[in-house]
Structure 1
Amino acid sequence: MENINKLTEILALCVPQLDPSPLRAAPPASTDRSDVLAWFANHLEQQGLLAYEEWKEYFGHVPALQSLSGIDFAGYDDGFIVSLIEDVDFPDAETAYTLQYELPFLEHINSILQPQGLRLVDLLPFENAYIFCVKDDEDQLRQLSKCLQAFDMDINERSAMNQQQAMARLGALLGNG
């Protein structure tokens, strides 16, 4: 359980407003990825620090996370990314389907969070998103990544992208850039 203790410690450093006491008090049943994921997700959800989203139903809204509650998102357009693909004629159904997993929704939100020293990340390698907020600290994120890798997980770091960068990313995804 040493790896669980390390993960708990780095989560306490990385995740704003996280109380690590419940994680320490009730460790996962085993160190199998499924048990660690359930432990991680349950504890963070109970503290309002994790949002589970199905990518096929996620269209760029700001996740309801306690750590984001005091941030002004008045200038954020949650429909911006979707507006960029509304009139795209996809070459095939597979491209349209897989694109949903690569759209820079969280990266665009992170452009608002960057001045606050925060960013949204999600866990890999899962089909759907386990989204949580972390401090925007590269060293801490490397440590978190390393701790998660012990359980065959990782984070998708989701670097900030303003509207121009998001448009360029989408162009590249569609083969236009």
Structure 2
Amino acid sequence: MRRAVCPGSFDPITNGHLDIIARASRLYDEVYVAVMINQSKKGLFEVEERIELIREVTSEFANVRVETHHGLLVDFCKQRDIPAIVKGLRAVSDFDYELQMAQMNNGLTGVETLFVPTNPTYSFLSSSLVKEVAAWGGDVSHLVPPQILDALNRRLRKD
């Protein structure tokens, strides 16, 4: 069985994330969405909320599983026999950072990283940008699934 993981904080998940997950789900038999926990960052959504929202918006993909992990991504991969990490690249600046991570991960355990160019529609998109625009009352409805927009509006009290 071919397995891959799409890691991230997903706070919140965006249409750009979903595009990468959907594309990975067509290439692999099983795709894990690993919601990584960063103790030094306070998220807008609790990890459990993110997992539930991601499960909701990825429910159409029968081969996608959503889990959380605290620690090294390569440990998550080893525990589940996952040989590949799938990452979306928006710009050259992403590549510089992601290449270093890919080389470190490969050096630690042999896990390969596959870079998928982001759909140009989402090349500027990040969770941080979505949160900032939404917090100021901007329209992010075209950047996130409807369930995520509802959750953002509830969290930011903009119903």
> Do the two structures share a fold, i.e. TM-score over 0.5?
no
TM-score (normalizing by structure 2): 0.28
The answer to which structure has the higher strand fraction is 2
Larger Rg: 1
TM-score (normalizing by structure 1): 0.26
